[in-house]
Amino acid sequence: MIAGPLFHIRAEPDTVRAVHLPHFVCLSDGADKSLCHIAHFQAGGMTLESPTKINNFFAVLANPSFSQIGVLWRKIRSAIKFIPIHSLVLIYRMLSAADITLHLYLIPNDHSLRKAIEEEETKCKSKHVPKSPQTDPLYFGAQYQVSGPPDLEITPRQLLFCYWSPGEQQSYIEIYTRGMEKEIRLQVNGQGDGNLVWEALVRPGDVRFSALSSNTLTGAAFVTTHRRQLWDRMGQIQPVLTRLREAQLLTSEEEEEVRSERTRHMRNDALLQLVERKGARAQEKLYEILSVTDPYLVQDLEQSS
């Protein structure tokens, strides 16, 4: 069973003492750690290694040899549905759709899956609706049901929880309503036992993105136009990194990647490249954050143009 993202790591021989590979198996319920393995994929084959140590959120492999590498969990047929998985709910609103159409995703806590969904929804001109994503631990192979007020059209109402690789189309539930005058309460329950695993209140203000639905993204244009000046003049970027991470546009690993660069210019360049890869809306968010953390720089660049 896939239990974490697959990485392709390059490093000089004998330069890495250990690698920490994230997994999404919940160990709080006493999952059998002996079932955890590290998979190496090379030349069309797979070899398995036992991890040196297993943490609640990652497995450690000492003195690794790198190829494509990731965490696997051996499946015992009688216990397939009894391995708890750290999981997330993601909600997007389609700005191009009539009225209010939401897409609700139920996925393992895997950054590569989140990134794939974000890229696909951005292509469809959708906007992320920020709600607490963490669920109670879920189980592969189990069905989960989404419910809300009677006037919501929810299709389908049930979703099979499973792992689709980032390159595949991710399953979602569509939620439609003609108008939204008041908040709606969304819930996800296990179909078999009815246990509540996630809920959130979605308010009218959460799904109003009229300012961002315009074809002109002032912030994105600002970042593109003034990229050279931002590279040269951005100073303390830690507050910027923190706010990007809080907005779920940056992972802790990506933040550390930027911070690890040796010089200020290299850190600025790494940040700008990262935001550019994530698209126009990420650039818009960077502009909003800089307007708060470094307003005089933003004003000076706007006046110069």
Per-residue pLDDT of 2-16, as tens digits, reads 999 999 888 888 889
Higher pLDDT, 223 or 215: 223
Say which residue the tokens 């700005």 belong to.
95
Predicted confidence band at 179 (pLDDT cuts at 50, 70, 90)?
A: confident
User: By C-alpha distance, which of 282, 212, 203 is closest to 250?
Assistant: 282
Token pair in block for residue 208: 């109003």
Classify domain 218-304 by CATH architecture: Orthogonal Bundle (1.10)
Bigger pLDDT: 42 vs 240: 240
pLDDT, position 188 = 96
Among 100, 85, 103, 92, smallest CA distance to 29 is for: 85
Residue 149 tokens, joined: 């007020």
Q: What 3-state class would DSSP assign to 5?
A: coil
Task: Give the residue, 58 or 299, on which the prediction is more confident.
Answer: 58
- Residue 180: phi, psi to the nearest 5? -145, 85
Distances (CA, A) of 209 to 1, 95, 204: 39, 8, 10
Q: What's 8-22 look like in SS3?
A: ECCCCCCCCCEEEEE
Mean pLDDT of 244-259: 87
- According to the CATH classification, is domain 86-207 in 2.40.160.20? no
Structure-derived torsion over alpha carbons of residues 209, 211, 212, 213, reported in degrees to the nearest 10: 80
Environment class of 289 (CB within 10 Å of its CB; exposed 0-12, middle 13-18, buried 19+): buried
Chain-wide mean pLDDT for the chain? 86
Report the SS3 class of residue 2: strand
Q: How far apart are CA 153 and CA 175, in angstroms?
A: 6
Q: Around Cβ 164, how many Cβ atoms within 10 Å?
A: 14
The tens digit of pLDDT for each residue in 44-70 reads 788 899 999 998 899 999 988 888 888
Edge-to-edge strand order for the sheet containing 153-155?
126-128, 87-94, 100-108, 173-177, 153-155
Query: Tens of pLDDT along 266-281?
Result: 999 999 999 988 888 8
pTM reported for the whole predicted model: 0.66
